Structure 1
Amino acid sequence: MTAHERPAPAFARAQDGTVLAYQHRGQGPPLVLLAGQANDHHWWDGVREDFHTVRSTLTLDMRGTGDSGKPQGPYSTGQFADDVVAVLDALGITHADVYGTSMGGRIAQSLAIRHPGRVRRLVLGCTSPGGPHAVERDASVRRSLAQPDPRAVRRALTDLMYTPAWQAAHPGPYRTLGDPRMPAHARRAHLLASNEHDAWDHLPRITAPTLVLHGGEDRLTPPDNLPLLASRIPGARTHLFPGARHAYFEECREEAGGLVRAFLTAPRQQ
């Protein structure tokens, strides 16, 4: 199956009965891939196959996106984490590696905190601890994403995701600019869930070996959040991709994928 073919979803149910669509591909121990805010599983289409040499991959359409249910909010990163566990339970998976980027990284933090026995190894990409300790995007970025013209917002978001050189070489379509099928209430609920995330006090409870990754020119989630996360998670390792923006995992695909595969398969230190 190629990255451009749509895998048929299967379905689980969350604790509150919400239908959760998921896509399980490949062979081997599972790697859960968690997408950014207001995006469905297609966020990972450009790099998903890179992990199939060492892992199967499990993606979800988080509530509010894709083929999953779209109940009224509020949503939270803790609730999203519990939704991941509901999918793992439906598949009979006791524990998995977890790789979350952007808001998916916030969900991954919540998963490792709330359900430590379910997370074997943890990768956090282009994300932050949230709350007052996080380094937030600057006002110019917020203004660019609040423009009334949707086309202008899409252009601004594309520039936050990818460098001009990458865009010139890869003209799209891009998979990381949001799920166009999301209703307005679900978009608002995703935004609120991300904004209200604050894991600072709980990060030291993470027991899974952790790798933290970030693009060095990320203005959407500033890279100063990388050392903040690493300082709070025991034994966390880090890597910065100089010059990369928010979607470092695509722009630095070969290096980033290699780092993650090596981290997932390395012997665990005692």
Structure 2
Amino acid sequence: MERWVGRVALVTGASSGFGEVIAKRLAEYGMKVVGCARNIEKILALSESVKDCKGSVLAIQCDISKDEDIQSMFDKIKQTYGGVDVCVNNAGFSYNSSLLEATSEQWRQMLDVNVVGLLACTRETVKSMKERGVDDGHIVLMSSMSGHRVVPGSAGLHFYAATKHCVKAITEGLRNELVAMKSNIRVSAISPGLARTDFARRTLGDEEKAEQRFSVMEPLTSDDVTDSVIYALSAPPRVQIHDVLIRPTNSAY
């Protein structure tokens, strides 16, 4: 990770879960981290917690489902640091609604964050790199095991799985476009299985139900998933870690 010291990393959805731990770890490695989320208070607290690290965390309030928020964020990053060298597209969410019961608005909201917002941040990151002649940047897409299979009995996550299957296709599409550009910018996807974060509680809307899900198997931790992000970033420039599938050892799916 030495080559990333002093470089700029954008982490979306940095207020909790994977994003919070990823942002903290990158700051510990000496990166200038920009953490964004709708809840800026939590990122401000994170920024304060890493003040003694080699790097730092700059908190920016941003709803990545809104184009104007994304543009404003990238303008601020350009003014403050010049641009983005690493983009970790971590923001994402799900409603607990089956395909036959969900509303059209729920589908649109999930697409706007999980797919369109992810792509918009990626597009603006690559634009930033090209403007500055950066040819060794890295795009990390936080996907999911749901992007590789659809679990029986989990109807509430079927559309979430659809958005993550989109991310799987986007990962390969980005790689193809960057290769066609003769660019050395790398793209990696990280696909975790069940992990102990707020995602299950927020999706199910019930702490007890979330704990019941965790009791079935020992879930991953945010540190486990962050280790995979660090692995992808640490690989030699000649190596692109395309997609890391990481799940609990005793997971049936």
Tell me, yes or no, whether TM beats 0.5.
no
- Structure possessing the higher relative contact order (Cα contacts under 8 Å, 6 or more residues apart): 1
Q: Quick check: which one's helix share is greater? A: 2
**TM-score, normalized by length of structure 1?**
0.41
Q: Normalization by structure 2: what TM-score?
A: 0.43
